[in-house]
Amino acid sequence: MNELTSLKKGEIRLTKSKLCCLCIVGTRPEAIKMGPVIAELNRSDWAFPYVVTTGQHADVVEGALKDFGVVPSRRLNLERRNGSLNELFGKVISEMDRVIDEVRPDCVIAQGDTTSVAVVSLAAFHMNVPFMHIEAGLRTGDLNDPYPEELNRRIAGLTAAMHFAPTSASLNNLLREGVPPGDCLVTGNTGIDALLQTAAHKLPAPKRFPNLPRVILATAHRRESFGAPIENALRGIRAAVDRHDDLGLFFVSHPNPNAHEPARRILGGHPRIVVTDAIDYADMVAALKSCWIVVTDSGGLQEEAPALGKPVLVLRNTTERPEAVRAGAVRVVGTNSAAVSNAISQLCDDPALYARMSVPVFPYGDGQAAKRIVAAMRARLVRAIPALSAA
């Protein structure tokens, strides 16, 4: 039952008034989806968030957290050499063992399905600290698609004390796997909290956003697509832009060379195509508001774009987010060049199809997920501690 505040880097003050919630953030999408929860914990009268970033893409992660008024308490130094998943696994679990031992939190919280999240869940489990999993229960049923995310979230599902599912379909996945009903609940997706908060502001289009009637917002970064799949998808997008004179492309590149290099090589040099490095979250929301459609393999964009009435074409063979597909806002098109190009052209040439797919839908929540998560955490954590029951 400790409140921990960071006075300086690595210096911690201990008091005994609130519960400590150790919040782990590794990537920018995690920062965006954890931001509303951390902010809600900061506003609570019973808990104190101690925020640790894993040091991956530190500048963009901490920049995204700053948008929610969150300053990390600590940054891990993983000192990776070869970039392999096994190296990351070993580094994170060693660091988390030390952090949990020093901080002695009352719970550990992480979001999503990265390798860091799986490792954090195991570290908490090994040290008998309750792990709270945000965005729990997403499944494709195929361990290799997406890779390694499907395995990561199954590991988190086995170790979590509480599972915060974004939708009823995700909740049903957890129940089928034997998670006790009292340990999981539907909260909505915190990404929608972040989106609606940000989109409520007047946002100018990002720098270099094409001034054309129809602009595709596109991203591609999935590990399972590296190599031929991502190259084929990019060629399909370029072919569609070539086919339609009023069509432009704003491609936001991922820092991983396996995603960045083919994007520059295949999409570069076209007068109606802009390839840009990663942009901040407000600019991404502005791009979403300004674009015509979204073409992506990103899970987050599959959730966000439908809420803004933007049709989504998914550059994957399957998706663990079927709700927006069923709602008619998302189509899974794969990475075949012709399939990608034809799907874009179909939306160009069929106004009725575009109209159906561009009706705003909210299958992933109403923007109140963080409040539900923090309320559920309080009910679970405080009920066992009589001294805090009146908090």
The CATH number of whichever domain residue 353 belongs to comes to 3.40.50.2000
Catalytic residue among 30, 40, 95, 149: 149
Residue 203 domain-assigned (yes or no): no
Question: In angstroms, how far apart are the furthest CA atoms of the chain?
Answer: 68
Instruction: Say yes or no: 179 and 236 in one domain.
Output: no
Encode pLDDT of 33-43 as tens digits: 999 999 999 99
Eight-state DSSP code of residue 273? E
Q: What is the pLDDT of residue 383?
A: 72
- Composition of the chain by helix, strand, coil, percent to 5: 45, 15, 35
**Domain limits for position 76:** 3-188+368-388
Within its chain, how far is the Cα of 32 from the centroid? 7
Instruction: Say whether pLDDT at 126 is over 50.
Output: yes
Q: Which ranges of the chain would DSSP assign to H, the alpha helix?
A: 28-43, 58-66, 85-103, 115-126, 149-159, 168-176, 190-199, 228-243, 257-267, 281-290, 299-307, 322-326, 337-349, 351-357, 369-382
Q: Which of the four pLDDT bands, split at 50, 70 and 90, describes residue 55? A: confident
- Write out the DSSP string of 41-54: HHH-SSEEEEEEE-
Tell me the two tokens of residue 194: 């972040």
Instruction: Say yes or no: 301 and 183 in one domain.
Output: no
Tell me the two tokens of residue 111: 């979001």
| Residue 254: active-site member | yes
Encode pLDDT of 94-105 as tens digits: 999 999 999 999
Instruction: Say whether pLDDT at 389 is over 50.
Output: no
Q: What is the pLDDT of residue 130?
A: 98
Cα–Cα distance measured from residue 251 to residue 270, given in angstroms and rounded to the nearest whole number: 12
The Cβ of residue 87 has, within 10 Å, a number of other Cβ atoms equal to: 14
Catalytic residue among 28, 57, 163, 221: 221
Catalytic residue among 30, 95, 106, 113: 113
φ and ψ of 133, to 5 deg:
-105, 115
Q: What is the pLDDT of residue 16?
A: 56
Eight-state DSSP code of residue 181? G
Q: Which of the four pLDDT bands, split at 50, 70 and 90, describes residue 207? A: very high
**In this structure, are residues 231 and 239 in contact, taking their beta carbons and an 8 Å threshold?**
no
Residue 72 domain-assigned (yes or no): yes
Instruction: Say yes or no: 350 and 372 in one domain.
Output: no
Residue 263 domain-assigned (yes or no): yes
Catalytic residue among 95, 106, 135, 303: 135
Residue 173 domain-assigned (yes or no): yes
Q: To which H or E segment does residue 127 belong?
A: none
Instruction: Say yes or no: 134 and 22 in one domain.
Output: yes
Cα–Cα distance measured from residue 254 to residue 249, given in angstroms and rounded to the nearest whole number: 16
| Residue 349: active-site member | no
| Residue 224: active-site member | no
Q: Please state, rounded to an integer, the average pLDDT across all residues of the chain.
A: 93
Instruction: Say yes or no: 164 and 40 in one domain.
Output: yes
Q: Which of the four pLDDT bands, split at 50, 70 and 90, describes residue 274? A: very high
Encode pLDDT of 299-314 as tens digits: 999 999 999 999 999 9
**In this structure, are residues 297 and 315 in contact, taking their beta carbons and an 8 Å threshold?**
yes
Residue 362 domain-assigned (yes or no): no
Q: To which H or E segment does residue 227 belong?
A: none
Residue 85 domain-assigned (yes or no): yes
Question: What's the count of helices (H) and strands (E) in the chain, helices before strands?
Answer: 15, 15
Catalytic residue among 80, 139, 223, 380: 223
Eight-state DSSP code of residue 350? -
Q: Is 131 helix (H, G, I), strand (E, B) or coil?
A: strand
Cα–Cα distance measured from residue 50 to residue 71, given in angstroms and rounded to the nearest whole number: 10
| Residue 201: active-site member | no
Instruction: Say yes or no: 57 and 129 in one domain.
Output: yes
Instruction: Say yes or no: 52 and 135 in one domain.
Output: yes
Instruction: Say whether pLDDT at 131 is over 50.
Output: yes
Q: What is the pLDDT of residue 384?
A: 56
Instruction: Say whether pLDDT at 6 is over 70.
Output: no
**Count: domains in the chain:** 2
Catalytic residue among 254, 321, 372, 378: 254
φ and ψ of 273, to 5 deg:
-120, 130
Written as one letter, the residue type at 44 is S
Cα–Cα distance measured from residue 32 to residue 25, given in angstroms and rounded to the nearest whole number: 9
Instruction: Say yes or no: 307 and 380 in one domain.
Output: no
Show Cβ contacts of residue 304 under 8 Å, excluding neighbours closer than 6 positions: 191, 192, 195, 285, 288
**In this structure, are residues 388 and 170 in contact, taking their beta carbons and an 8 Å threshold?**
no
Residue 206 domain-assigned (yes or no): no
Q: What is the pLDDT of residue 385?
A: 54
Instruction: Say yes or no: 22 and 134 in one domain.
Output: yes
Show Cβ contacts of residue 90 under 8 Å, excluding neighbours closer than 6 positions: none
**What is the CA angle 5-7-8, rounded to 5?**
130
Instruction: Say yes or no: 30 and 114 in one domain.
Output: yes
Instruction: Say yes or no: 162 and 142 in one domain.
Output: yes
- pLDDT average, residue stretch 247-257: 94
Instruction: Say yes or no: 238 and 326 in one domain.
Output: yes
Quote the pTM value.
0.91
